[in-house]
Chains A and B, each alone.
Chain A
């Protein structure tokens, strides 16, 4: 089917290196909505300076409006198994978008020693104290990022993900792929291709996660050939 929309993503093609872009690529691929991809867009030129954006029907849509657009071009989402599974999907989404995402950001080299990536500070609970200390007379500078704690929580999250997936075809036992599957795929793929071996090892030692990511990757890549 000829794609009638273009998804602006961060490079490379066919699978973006940015987790948010890859998530929406996977979402559209798993829903069977054909779109082309474009990787030469500077994020500064996107809506809210954030990729991905969807260029469709002579309009440019931000990421949060992609499901609404997809509903008009594809059969309705089959949804989760039951309302409890839908609620549970929110818990897993929080685990991935906070705990796992914090570990991915922590593994990225900071632009300077005194200023860790701003998105990382927004993900940590409790928030990191300044490098100069809370009680010192020095003005607050930088942030003390607890890398060991972030990594320990990441290990627990990946173990929980593996236990929950077990041998199911789709997460939470859904009969068809759901938005949660797209999100899980985006994070697993980003971790597997990451240069950080400590992150990668936690996923690669779990056979079910590797096999699941491999299977879903084939499906997503096929959609963007």
Chain B
């Protein structure tokens, strides 16, 4: 398989990482590990291009594969025709029980640690205002930069609210001059109490999850064997997104660095192991920053790329049939109306 045939579409790179979203970052790291130099990365700022509206998605010849799990399965199923750095299945050395455990652990990491990453990037007001919002806004031209970041943030709200990690500030009230407002100080104290309490709640959730992963790693270089498996990559992708950015509110980052340095070392080790191959240099391209059709809801163009000539012909014939049906109905109704009105006016 040639490198030009496989393209992985992900959220753009940020903070020295290949993507600013954990599953996209994990997908890039996975492909770098199993097929370095044999794929290209397409930085995409509009997930509407994806057939499911989600990133990452992979395009290979006539196939379009979405979601991290499906991409990993697809790559595992491909037969390498040229020399590869390692097997296309990182979990081939695991036993049946370990593979099953790996699936469960990946679900735990994506849900629990994923919620912590989403809180740090989207929910915490300081991090949102000074880190994530400017990063997202820089990906889009005017006018999209004024509404897309907010929409992306709103997408994470249901999940973070159900996890108790949605952290909107209390509405700031202007302190009116020359007016004695005895309750203003009380409201400020309440706000400070709620912010501190909220932060402690988040840190407690993060602490519980991080302790579990630290016990799972158990002072080894990698979780299962002497080289990274899928679980190592998924865990490292989430930890790197908590370590690398310069968070204005760094409490979770400090928790990892000071209380669980083994997890930080593991993430860096996985990252360096993957980057150490000379062929691991990524070939990166970008989708156009702005497409007029993106302003109007429209079916994804990625579907059209994946269709064969027969599928396109079938689609045209189907639309032709619909048009013929509607046209015949319109003609019939027009003729009937004409006859009825002629009869009535006699």
CA distance A64 to B67 in the complex (A): 33
Sampled A-B contacts (8; CB under 8 Å): A98-B111, A119-B162, A127-B158, A129-B53, A140-B154, A149-B69, A159-B100, A160-B101
Selected interface stretch from B28-36, B185-193, B292-300: B292-300
Q: Is A81 an interface residue (CB 8 A)?
A: no
CB-CB contacts below 8 Å: A43-67 with B: none
**In the complex, what's the smallest C-beta–C-beta distance from A108 to chain B, in angstroms?**
17
Query: CA A100 – CA B154 in complex, angstroms?
Result: 25
In the bound complex, residues from chain A placing their C-beta under 8 Å from that of B294 are 133, 135-136
B212 interfacial by beta-carbon distance below 8 Å: yes
| B104, B114, B295, B296: most-surrounded residue (chain A CB, <10 A) | B104
| Chain B residue, CB-CB nearest to A121 | B158
**In the bound complex, what is the Cα–Cα distance between A97 and B148 (angstroms)?**
31
Q: At the interface, is chain A mostly helix, strand, loop or mixed?
A: helix
User: Interface of A with B (CB < 8 Å)?
Assistant: 83-84, 87-88, 90-92, 94-95, 98-99, 118-119, 121-138, 140, 144, 146, 148-149, 152-153, 156-157, 159-161, 163-164, 166
B295→A137 contact, CB < 8 A: yes
Q: Quick check: B148 and A91 within 8 Å, CB to CB? A: no
Cα of A133 to Cα of B155 in the assembled complex, Å: 11
Give the most central of A87, A131, A135, A146: most B CB within 10 Å: A135
In the bound complex, do residue A95 and residue B103 qualify as a contact, i.e. CB atoms below 8 Å apart?
A: yes
Query: Once the chains are docked, how many angstroms separate the CA of A161 from the CA of B295?
Result: 44
Q: Is B52 a contact of A156 with CB atoms below 8 Å?
A: no
A88-B101, A90-B212, A160-B100 known; A134 vs B47 contact (CB < 8 Å): yes
In the complex, what residues of B have CB within 8 A of residue A118's CB? Answer: 158
User: By the criterion CB–CB under 8 Å, are B155 and A128 in contact?
Assistant: yes
CB <8 Å contact, A88 and B104? yes
Residues of B within 8 A of A (CB): 21, 23, 46-48, 52-55, 66-67, 69-70, 96-97, 99-101, 103-105, 107-108, 110-112, 114, 144, 148, 151-152, 154-156, 158-159, 161-163, 212, 215-216, 294-298
Q: Which residues of A contact B161 (CB under 8 A)?
A: 122
- CB-CB under 8 A from A127, the residues of chain B are 155-156, 158-159
Whether A160 and B104, one on each chain, are in contact in the complex, defined by CB atoms closer than 8 angstroms, is: yes
Chain A hits for B148, CB < 8 A = 134-135
Q: With both chains docked as a complex, state the minimum distance between the C-beta of A135 and any C-beta of chain B, in angstroms.
A: 4
Query: How far is A12 from B158 in the complex, measured between Cα atoms in Å?
Result: 30
* Nearest-neighbor residue (CB-CB) of B48 within chain A: A133
Q: Given contacts A84-B215, A140-B151, could you give 14 more A-B pairs where the C-beta distance is less than 8 Å?
A: A98-B107, A127-B159, A128-B54, A129-B48, A129-B53, A130-B151, A133-B298, A135-B144, A136-B297, A137-B295, A152-B70, A157-B103, A164-B100, A164-B101
Chain A residue with the shortest CB-CB distance to B161? A122
